[in-house]
């Protein structure tokens, strides 16, 4: 990737310029049988729409904090890059009471009500389906995001030295995040075209790095697996073969 990249949003722009058609995130949920594959271009489009929702509809700006009460999921990855695009701080598993906004999946809806700002709910259902009715106190992401613009430009330049991510109690600036992701990619042996299989949760740096940032920094892609423990050894071997996996990360069985 480009050596001048200093924020996660920079990494995504470089990936888009290099090869927009290649896969970036292939997501499996082994509890539901769901499989979703997003090319760099498709992923970037979701990020742009979500960033426009965040900056435009929700009026988020640099310095704001967004609590992400979400599991390892392709839509969580989208929100992480959208937050970086706007310049707000994404807090994985953050305290909703201390956040300006909250984005929650089904398991985080009750806790998210402690946030006094705007709240967005994600059903995390296959194909990104809507809730039958928006949860009380929330706007439904699947209803709000489709009408957003396909191109995004921040109102203010994103400062690479400003806080970008909080995970497991550790705060990282955009520049620190990119530096760590590059180091992890090297340690995992990732390069351009690598396919990393990760079954780790997004509640630690190791999990979110393997599940998104390290493959992105290397010019590779991630096979992100939720509920991977439900796959037996034979099923895992078949996935590794069918998805052309070149490396695996801790967090899998």
DSSP string, 68-134: EE--S-HHHHHHHHHHHHHTPEEEET--GGG-SEEEE-GGGHHHHTT-SS-EEE----GGGPPPSSP
Residue 48: closest CA among 153, 158, 177, 128 = 153
Give the pLDDT band of residue 252 (cuts 50, 70, 90). very low
User: What is the value of pTM for the model shown?
Assistant: 0.97
Question: Does residue 157 register a pLDDT over 60?
Answer: yes
Q: How many CB atoms are located within 10 Å of the residue 30 CB? A: 18
Residue 242: exposure state from Cβ atoms within 10 A (0-12, 13-18, ≥19): exposed
Question: Does residue 114 register a pLDDT over 60?
Answer: yes
Structure tokens at 177: 């995040």
Across the chain, what does the average pLDDT equal? 96
From CA 189, how far away is CA 195, in angstroms rounded?
10
Could you state, in order of their start, the residue ranges of all structural domains in the chain?
8-248
Query: Candidates 3.30.950.10, 3.30.1360.30, 1.10.600.10, 3.40.50.12780; correct CATH number of 8-248?
Result: 3.40.50.12780
Residue 8: closest CA among 39, 51, 49 = 51
Contact between 205 and 93 under an 8 Å Cβ cutoff? The reply is: no
pLDDT digits (tens, 9 = 90+) for 49-62: 999 999 999 999 99
The mean pLDDT of 93-104, rounded to a whole number, is 98
Residue % of the chain over a pLDDT of 90: 95
What are the C-alpha distances in Å from 48 to residues 3, 55, 95, 153, 170?
Answer: 23, 10, 26, 8, 26
């Amino acid at each position: 990737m480009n050596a001048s990249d200093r924020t996660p949003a920079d990494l995504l722009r470089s990936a888009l310029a290099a090869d927009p058609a290649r896969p970036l995130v292939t997501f499996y949920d082994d509890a539901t049988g769901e499989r979703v594959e997003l090319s760099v271009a498709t992923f970037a489009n979701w990020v742009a729409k979500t960033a426009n929702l965040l900056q435009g509809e929700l009026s988020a700006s640099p310095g704001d904090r967004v609590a992400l009460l979400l599991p390892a999921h392709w839509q969580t990855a989208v929100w992480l890059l959208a937050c970086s695009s706007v310049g707000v701080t994404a807090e994985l598993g953050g305290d909703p009471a201390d956040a300006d906004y909250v984005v929650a999946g089904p398991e985080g809806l009750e806790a998210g009500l402690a946030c006094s700002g705007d709240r967005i709910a994600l059903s995390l259902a296959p194909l990104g389906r809507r809730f039958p009715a928006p949860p009380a106190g929330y706007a439904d992401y699947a209803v709000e995001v489709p009408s957003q613009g396909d191109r995004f430009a921040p109102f203010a330049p994103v400062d690479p030295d400003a806080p970008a991510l909080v995970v497991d109690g550790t705060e990282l600036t955009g520049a620190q995040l990119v530096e760590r992701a590059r180091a992890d990619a090297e340690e995992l042996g990732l390069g351009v075209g690598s396919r990393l299989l990760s079954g780790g949760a997004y509640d630690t740096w190791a999990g979110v790095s393997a599940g998104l940032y390290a493959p992105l920094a290397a010019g590779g892609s991630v096979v992100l697996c939720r509920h991977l423990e439900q796959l037996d050894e034979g099923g895992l071997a078949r996935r590794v073969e069918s998805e052309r996996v070149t490396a695996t990360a801790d967090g899998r069985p």
